[in-house]
Amino acid sequence: MHRLLCKFEQVAMRVFPSDVRRGQIGSIEFNIWLSQMTGVPLPPSFVPLRRRFVSNCLLLLCGSFLCFVHFMYTIFEFYDLYIVWPDFYAFTQNFCLTMSHFAGALKIINLLCRLKTVQRAILKLKQATKTYIRTDAQRQIFDRAEVENKLFLVIYATVIGFTGFTAMILVFINPDMAGKIFPYRVALPAWLPLPVRVAYIGTTDFMFAVQIVTVDYLNIGMMNLLRCHLNVMKSSFDELNFNVKCMKSDIKRIRDPNERLADIVRHHCVLKSVRDDVEQIFRLPVLLQFFTSLVISAVTGFQATIYSSNFKSELIIYFYCFCIFTQLFGYCWFGNEVNEQNKTLAARGYSSSWYYFDNRFRKSLAIFLVNAQQPFDFTGGGFVALSLPSFTGIMSKAYSFIAVLRQMYDR
């Protein structure tokens, strides 16, 4: 396992490489490239990749067409939901994918409407990377965060993509499943030939799944980069520590401690600004994600407990449950990590050798410590914190809802 991770780290450093000196963040470029390849219509002015303008325009047109096709598919799903609502079993089958696709469509629309804010946040992160990451230790922290970003993106895309691809292959093998059972319940026009309907259902489920991955991970990746920069700030405070045995050399090394502290304060202000941008962009989609994850986990779990007539569909249900857990866990894990890093920032600042410096340094540090104790968390709509307790709470509530749905179905 260790060799495999080392091999992945070597590959990750070569594919979409990062360059601290130029402020180049490879994980964000990788995410944007994957978004374009899966049909998210990003304008050429937003894409930071070194690609021809004509190629970006063609990808924009292709992405716009795919999004239109996917949004039409979601409308057909809502129509099927309207048709089958008196049938509780068929309604719960349809509800899972309809809510998931509806939430994904809103995420894409939200991202496209806030592209300027997203671009501003990315530029701030690039500038902070270029300006404040200086030492070898800080570069190692940044490189480790980049590998983590790419690794989780690959894992996340593999989990979601494998489920969508498996569902697509199964419906191609068994066309009779199209439009009738989970996850293929949709009311397409009857005049469409069966092969067209099967191809539409299979490819749309797969492509929509991967599109949602790229939009989700833009949020998750930026949160992890903020965690990385908080760690870099703690490393900067370590440079303000004196060793009693090497006092003279340390004094020469730290020529202007007030300027060093001013750099840390400016760095912290930039990170708070990026955090506010990310919260503004994604707080409503994340709130919708929490709500839909709770409902979908309950409904999908209910389907898994009663579905025993079709093994293939039952297998897709279990895969789909795992996808929902992975999606929600990614938000909560990285949101929790950012908050945990911020909690220890004030302590790291206080542990510096501030008592050797002048009153100006001490006053500035005291003000910084007060600001550093403010929460640095991410929320869903300002109501639900992205943290591990929130994740376990949603899983607990989903289990309770499964029990309620079982009682309703047995009656």
| Residue whose C-alpha is closest to residue 177's, from 83, 91, 169 | 169
Domain positions in the chain are 8-16+30-410
| 3 state SS of 114 | coil
User: Per residue, what are the HEC states of 39-57?
Assistant: CCCCCCCCCCCCCCHHHHH
E strands of 133-256, at which residues?
A: none
Half-sphere exposure of residue 249: CA atoms within 13 angstroms, side-chain side = 4
Rounded Cα gap, residues 4 and 355, in angstroms: 46
pLDDT band at 243 (very low <50, low <70, confident <90, very high): low
| 3 state SS of 188 | coil
| Residue whose C-alpha is closest to residue 125's, from 203, 214, 25, 29 | 25
**pLDDT of 49 strictly over 60:** no
Check residue 39 and give its pLDDT: 79
| 3 state SS of 24 | strand
Check residue 271 and give its pLDDT: 92
Share of residues in the chain with pLDDT > 70 (%): 87
Greater confidence (300 vs 34) lies with 34
Rounded Cα gap, residues 310 and 269, in angstroms: 56
Check residue 311 and give its pLDDT: 59
Check residue 384 and give its pLDDT: 84
Check residue 44 and give its pLDDT: 67
pLDDT band at 285 (very low <50, low <70, confident <90, very high): confident
**pLDDT of 80 strictly over 90:** no
**pLDDT of 214 strictly over 90:** no
Contacts of 286 (CB under 8 A, 6+ apart): 219, 331, 378, 379, 380, 381, 384, 386
Check residue 225 and give its pLDDT: 92
Check residue 269 and give its pLDDT: 92
| 3 state SS of 86 | coil
| CB-CB neighbours of 52 under 10 Å | 9
pLDDT band at 218 (very low <50, low <70, confident <90, very high): confident
Per the structure block, which two tokens stand in for 221?
């990746």
**pLDDT of 48 strictly over 60:** no
Check residue 380 and give its pLDDT: 85
Check residue 276 and give its pLDDT: 92
> pLDDT tens digit string along 271-280?
999 999 999 9
Residue range 3-16: mean pLDDT, rounded: 69
Per the structure block, which two tokens stand in for 168?
């697509």
Using an 8 Å Cβ cutoff, are 55 and 161 in contact?
no
Check residue 273 and give its pLDDT: 93
Average pLDDT, the chain: 82
Check residue 266 and give its pLDDT: 92
Per the structure block, which two tokens stand in for 344?
């220890």
Using an 8 Å Cβ cutoff, are 30 and 150 in contact?
yes
Check residue 231 and give its pLDDT: 92
Among 156-165, 334-343, 401-410, name the most confident range: 334-343
Rounded Cα gap, residues 263 and 285, in angstroms: 34
Per the structure block, which two tokens stand in for 215?
């939009």
Rounded Cα gap, residues 57 and 74, in angstroms: 26
Q: What is the DSSP letter of 273?
A: H
**pLDDT of 246 strictly over 80:** no
The owner of tokens 């929320």 is 379
Check residue 274 and give its pLDDT: 92
pLDDT band at 314 (very low <50, low <70, confident <90, very high): low
pLDDT band at 245 (very low <50, low <70, confident <90, very high): low
Using an 8 Å Cβ cutoff, are 122 and 35 in contact?
no
Using an 8 Å Cβ cutoff, are 348 and 399 in contact?
no
Check residue 38 and give its pLDDT: 81
Residue range 220-232: mean pLDDT, rounded: 91
Using an 8 Å Cβ cutoff, are 95 and 299 in contact?
yes
Give kind and range of the element (H or E) at residue 259.
helix 257-306
Rounded Cα gap, residues 150 and 162, in angstroms: 18
Q: How far are the Cα atoms of 161, 245, 402, 406, 410 from residue 303, in angstroms, in the given order?
A: 21, 67, 9, 9, 13
Residue range 93-118: mean pLDDT, rounded: 85
| Residue whose C-alpha is closest to residue 219's, from 274, 294, 301, 164 | 274
The owner of tokens 């911020």 is 342
Q: Output the DSSP codes for 376-388.
A: ---EETTTEE-SH
pLDDT band at 8 (very low <50, low <70, confident <90, very high): low
> pLDDT tens digit string along 131-188?
998 888 889 999 888 888 888 888 888 888 888 888 888 888 888 777 777 777 788 8
Residue range 54-70: mean pLDDT, rounded: 79
Q: What is the DSSP letter of 181?
A: S
Q: What is the DSSP letter of 310?
A: -
**pLDDT of 12 strictly over 70:** no
**pLDDT of 192 strictly over 60:** yes
Rounded Cα gap, residues 137 and 66, in angstroms: 44
Rounded Cα gap, residues 307 and 96, in angstroms: 14
